[in-house]
């Protein structure tokens, strides 16, 4: 009698590390591990290390023969083709197109592999196990190093014609004299509402108001975490930075609501942890900028997935869909 395949593997590929976990049908991560992502420019070398780590983890969890498939979330991961294409943060995929799903499946002796980008994986995870369970229409916004998005309409993630839909972080948030974004455009949402954007706002504001006291003046290489800690201590500039960031985010969210009429917008990622400072300005700005049709109708939620497991869970959720 064949064993039931009631377990999947989730892999979150990041610029520096990749997290791997064996997950059951309830969204419990049974075993997990982390490997380096950035130590070799040869894609095959990385895939071999990853495959070995996955095999070890399956063995450790005692679920050999019971794995339905592997789900992978990665920057510039294409759901249609299984390729990772020109991902600037991955040393082995920055300058080329890597047939990742095929390579990993081969290294895992034919186990099925599904791939998508990290924000889409987060959306699938939230819909399968988290705050968007039971929702058919919502938008996931990931506020991390950058700003990513996963758009779900009618219960399906929107992939678009080429597999790359959902780059709301690179829509224009500031139209005139906007900051230069890493993508080469100016005024992108990501340049303001990512962790890097918040740190940049802090540096600019401290320079512009030299007479306003702030604990941030004593911090070298300010990060968004420093801004959050300062706000928690009641620092006026830090609190104002989150107000400013939230207002920009809310105005962009209003545009997104007008496009797909979601039931909710779910915020996820490092910056979402500053919820007590960012929620109200974001929610107010969203409702001031949206058509009366949707005013106070769209829920603004924070991810319910545990931060440490969220990326693994998001990626693993893809594997349940493997037919």
Domains within the chain, CATH numbers bracketed = 7-124+308-320 (3.30.420.40), 132-303 (3.30.420.40)
Spatial distance between the Cα atoms of 196 and 226, rounded to a whole number of angstroms: 12
Is-contact 244 204, C-beta < 8 A?
no
Residues 2, 211: Cα–Cα separation, whole Å: 72
∠ at Cα 76 (75, 79), nearest 5°? 110
**Is the Cβ–Cβ distance between 315 and 281 less than 8 Å?**
no
Residues 242, 121: Cα–Cα separation, whole Å: 27
Report the pLDDT averaged over residues 272-301. 97
Q: Residue 288 has what pLDDT?
A: 98
The stretch 203-213 carries a mean pLDDT of: 94
Averaged pLDDT score across all residues of the chain: 94
pLDDT of the residue at 183: 85
Q: How far apart are CA 21 and CA 39, in angstroms?
A: 21
The answer to whether residue 290 scores a pLDDT higher than 60 is yes
Q: Are 201 and 245 in contact (CB under 8 A)?
A: yes
Q: DSSP label at 271?
A: G
pLDDT tens readout for residues 51-89: 999 999 999 999 999 999 999 999 889 999 999 998 888
Under DSSP, is residue 167 helix (H, G, I), strand (E, B) or coil?
coil
Q: How many CB atoms lie within 10 A of CB 147?
A: 30
Local confidence band at 308 (pLDDT 50, 70, 90 cut-offs): confident
In the chain, the percentage of residues whose pLDDT exceeds 70 is 99
Mean pLDDT of 251-275: 95
The confidence band for 1, taking pLDDT boundaries of 50, 70 and 90, is: low
CA 67, 158, 75, 246 torsion-angle sign? negative
- Residue 321: is its pLDDT beyond 90? no
Q: What is the pLDDT of residue 114?
A: 96
148-200 per-position pLDDT tens digit: 999 999 999 999 999 989 999 999 999 999 999 988 999 999 999 999 999 99
- At 291 the pLDDT is 98
On the question of pLDDT at 32 being above 60, the answer is: yes
Q: What pLDDT score was predicted for residue 4? A: 83
Confidence at 302, pLDDT banded by 50, 70, 90: very high
Please name which of 175, 124, 131, 128 lies closest in space to residue 150, comparing C-alpha atoms.
124
Task: State yes or no: pLDDT of 240 exceeds 80.
Answer: yes
Residue 268, strand partner residues:
142
Give SS3 for 259. Answer: helix
E strands in the chain: 7-13, 17-24, 29-36, 67-73, 84-85, 97-98, 113-116, 138-143, 147-153, 156-157, 264-268, 299-302
What gap in Å lies between CA 180 and CA 186, rounded to an integer?
4
Terminal C-alpha separation, the chain: 20
Rounded distance between C-alpha atoms, residue 103 and residue 1, angstroms: 30
Measured distance CA(79)–CA(292) in Å, rounded: 36
C-alpha–C-alpha distance, residues 79 and 101, integer Å:
10
Between vectors from CA 41 to CA 35 and to CA 47, what angle results, nearest 5°? Answer: 50
* Confidence label for 15 from pLDDT (cuts 50, 70 and 90): confident
172 vs 59: CA distance, rounded Å: 47
pTM listed for this prediction: 0.89
- 2: pLDDT strictly greater than 80: no
Q: Are 242 and 274 in contact (CB under 8 A)?
A: yes
CA distances from 134 to 152, 259, 286 (A): 12, 21, 24
């Amino acid at each position: 009698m064949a064993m039931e395949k009631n377990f999947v593997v989730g892999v979150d590929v990041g610029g520096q590390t990749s997290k791997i976990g064996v997950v059951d049908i309830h969204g419990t991560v049974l075993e997990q591990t982390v490997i380096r992502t950035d130590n070799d420019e040869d894609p095959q070398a990385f895939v071999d290390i990853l495959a070995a780590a996955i095999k070890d983890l399956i063995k450790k969890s005692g679920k050999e023969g019971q794995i339905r498939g592997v789900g992978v979330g990665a920057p510039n991961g294409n759901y249609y083709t299984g390729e990772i294409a020109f991902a600037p943060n991955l040393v082995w995929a920055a300058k080329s197109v890597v047939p990742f799903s095929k390579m990993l499946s081969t290294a895992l002796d034919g186990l099925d592999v599904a791939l998508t980008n990290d924000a889409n994986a987060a959306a699938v995870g939230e819909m399968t196990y988290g705050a968007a369970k039971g929702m058919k229409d919502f938008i996931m916004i990931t506020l991390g190093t950058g700003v990513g998005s996963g758009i779900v309409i009618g219960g399906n993630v929107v992939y678009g014609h080429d597999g790359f839909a959902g780059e709301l972080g690179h829509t224009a948030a500031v139209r005139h004299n906007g900051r230069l974004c890493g993508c080469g455009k100016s005024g992108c949402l990501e340049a303001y509402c990512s962790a890097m954007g918040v740190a940049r706002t802090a540096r600019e504001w401290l320079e512009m108001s030299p007479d306003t006291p702030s604990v941030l003046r004593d911090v070298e290489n300010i990060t968004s975490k420093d801004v959050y800690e300062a706000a928690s201590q009641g620092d006026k500039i830090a609190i104002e930075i989150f107000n400013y960031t939230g207002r920009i985010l809310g105005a962009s969210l209003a545009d997104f609501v007008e496009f797909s009429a979601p039931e909710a917008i779910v915020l996820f990622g490092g910056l979402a942890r500053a919820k007590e400072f960012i929620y109200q300005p974001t929610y107010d700005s969203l409702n001031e900028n949206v058509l009366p049709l949707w005013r106070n109708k769209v829920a603004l939620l924070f991810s319910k997935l545990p931060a440490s497991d969220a990326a693994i869970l998001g990626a693993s959720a893809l594997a349940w869909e493997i037919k």
